[in-house]
């Protein structure tokens, strides 16, 4: 079983799809000659040439617009938007065009494209290059949204995303690009969109997470075990459509749910599964559905502040322990109990 860094796994996924399907093309800022600022397209230009691997100007609207136009006329573009925040200049092309054209045309066109972006805090990139922004996309039917954190997941899900006939937003935590992990390359390594993964079994609480909060949840589960609390860890992987069945099956058994999110408490992606879990399993829960998030603040630049901003395994552990012991949602660290 090969080991790869996550950015190498991403490159491998694009490479393998390009080798199988000559309609797959790559475009974005610095993706060709430079191999991507996060080295997620190294070697693709040499192997596939400048017609299929294209550097663009700093023109996000043109990048995504061209991807939509090309996707509706026979290509499968993989577009890179360097930082997820830059979707702020091209949401129109994504939300109003890519996500709508299949519907507006009553299915006459499909929009098979992937819009990849780096996300997340932890690397000192400051307030404008460190968010995750999943909820910019979650309220848009027509989009699929994937978030990854390891080599195997990135490879398997990106290959599925490129093969998918719908526009897929593919989010990659920048701190995870260097993560080395075991992976399966080739057809067997492909992972379906829309399916969550149970990464650790447990009986007393389900930790539901996504992106780079998954390893935090896994580490917390380990600590909880030492405290005598058995935690199940579910990696949601795809936010739209999200895997209700796996999540509800897990929580129906553990009867407690904690959602671990890297986004501000207000309006984070966890509201949706929290609401569904609460509605579907209300009478069976032993505690309120609880969300562990970052505070409602821009991502701080200063390293010390930034490390406090992100949920840590210790913090998740203390929150889960409190929930399990009291059957009440604990306050977050930044709020004094009233």
CB of 23 to other proteins, least distance (A): 7
Q: Where are the beta strands (DSSP E) in 84-215?
A: 114-119, 144-147, 168-173, 180-182, 197-200, 205-209
With binding defined as CB under 8 A, does residue 231 bind other proteins?
Answer: no
Q: How far apart are CA 191 and CA 21, in angstroms?
A: 18
Residue 271 a catalytic site member: no
Which of 2, 126, 142, 278 is in the footprint of other proteins by CB under 8 A? 142
CB 135, CB 147: distance < 8 Å: no
CB of 105 to other proteins, least distance (A): 4
Q: How far apart are CA 207 and CA 298, in angstroms?
A: 25
Residue with Cβ nearer other proteins (25 or 323): 25
* CA atoms lying within 13 Å on the CB side of residue 167: 31
320's enclosing H/E stretch is helix 313-326
Among 129, 271, 290, 331, the one annotated catalytic: 129
Residue with Cβ nearer other proteins (11 or 93): 93
CB of 62 to other proteins, least distance (A): 4
With binding defined as CB under 8 A, does residue 66 bind other proteins?
Answer: yes
With binding defined as CB under 8 A, does residue 41 bind other proteins?
Answer: no
With binding defined as CB under 8 A, does residue 111 bind other proteins?
Answer: yes
Tokens of 262: 């890297």
With binding defined as CB under 8 A, does residue 248 bind other proteins?
Answer: no
With binding defined as CB under 8 A, does residue 108 bind other proteins?
Answer: yes
Residue with Cβ nearer other proteins (77 or 122): 77
CB 268, CB 218: distance < 8 Å: no
* Cα radius of gyration (the chain): 20
Which of 20, 46, 92, 314 is in the footprint of other proteins by CB under 8 A? 92
In the three-class reduction of DSSP (H, G, I as helix; E, B as strand; rest coil), residue 72 is classed as coil
Phi-psi category of residue 14: left, alpha or beta, with phi > 0 → left and psi -120 to 50 → alpha: alpha
With binding defined as CB under 8 A, does residue 56 bind other proteins?
Answer: yes
Catalytic (active-site) positions: 129
Q: Which residues bind other proteins (CB under 8 A)?
A: 23, 25, 51-52, 54, 56-57, 59, 61-62, 64-75, 77, 89, 92-93, 96-97, 101-112, 141-142, 144, 164-166, 194, 241
């Amino acid at each position: 079983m090969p080991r790869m860094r996550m950015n190498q796994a991403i490159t491998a996924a694009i490479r393998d799809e390009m080798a199988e399907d000559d309609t797959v093309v790559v475009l974005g800022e610095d993706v060709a000659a430079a191999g991507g600022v996060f080295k997620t397209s190294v070697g693709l230009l040499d192997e596939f040439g400048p017609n299929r691997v294209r550097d663009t100007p700093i023109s996000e609207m043109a990048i995504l617009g061209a991807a939509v136009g090309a996707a509706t006329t026979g290509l499968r573009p993989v577009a890179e938007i360097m930082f997820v925040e830059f979707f702020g200049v091209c949401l129109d092309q994504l939300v109003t065009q890519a996500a709508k054209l299949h519907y507006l045309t009553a299915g006459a066109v499909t929009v098979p494209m992937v819009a990849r972006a780096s996300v997340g805090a932890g690397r000192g990139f400051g307030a404008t290059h460190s968010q995750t922004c999943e909820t910019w996309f979650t309220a848009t039917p027509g989009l699929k949204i994937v978030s990854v954190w390891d080599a195997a997941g990135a490879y398997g899900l990106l290959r599925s995303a490129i093969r998918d006939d719908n526009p897929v937003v593919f989010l990659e935590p920048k701190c995870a690009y260097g993560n080395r992990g075991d992976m399966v390359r080739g057809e067997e390594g492909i992972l379906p969109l829309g399916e969550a993964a149970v990464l650790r079994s447990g009986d007393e609480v389900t930790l539901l997470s996504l992106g780079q909060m998954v390893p935090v949840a896994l580490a917390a589960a380990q600590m909880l075990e030492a405290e005598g609390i058995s935690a199940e860890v579910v990696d949601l992987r795809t936010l739209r459509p999200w895997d209700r069945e796996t999540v509800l099956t897990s929580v129906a058994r553990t009867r407690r749910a904690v959602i671990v999110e890297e986004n501000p408490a207000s309006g984070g992606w966890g509201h949706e599964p929290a609401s569904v879990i609460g509605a579907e399993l209300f009478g069976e829960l032993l505690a309120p559905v609880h969300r562990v998030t970052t505070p409602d603040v821009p991502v701080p630049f200063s390293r010390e502040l930034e490390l406090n901003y992100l949920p840590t395994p210790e913090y998740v552990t203390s929150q889960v322990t409190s929930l399990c012991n009291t059957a009440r949602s604990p306050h977050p660290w930044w709020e004094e109990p009233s």
